Amino acid sequence: MTGNNEEQVVGHDDDVEQPREADVVRYLLTHPEFLVDHIEILRHMAPREQWSGEGVVDLQSVLIDRSQEAIGDLRSAAQSVIETSRSNMSVQARTHAAVLALVEAESFEDIVRIVTQDWPHSLDVDVVSLGFEYSRAPFPALVNPDLRQLPLGTIRQILGPDLNVRLFGEMIDDGTVFGEGAGLAHTAALARIDAGFETPPGLLALGAREDTFGPGQGTELISFLSAVLAITVRQCLTRRP
**Residue 1: predicted pLDDT:** 45
pLDDT in tens, 93-106: 888 889 999 988 88
**Residue 117: predicted pLDDT:** 94
pLDDT in tens, 35-47: 767 766 766 665 5
pTM of the model: 0.63
Whether pLDDT at 199 is above 70 = yes
DSSP characters over 46-83: ---SS--STT---HHHHHHHHHHHHHHHHHHHHHHHHH
**Residue 114: predicted pLDDT:** 95
What domains sit in the chain, N to C, each tagged with a CATH number? Answer: 105-239 (3.30.450.40)
pLDDT in tens, 117-148: 999 999 999 999 999 998 666 677 777 889 99
**Residue 65: predicted pLDDT:** 64
Average the pLDDT over each of 41-45, 130-134, 158-162, 190-194 and give the range with the smallest value.
41-45
- Summary mean pLDDT of the chain: 79
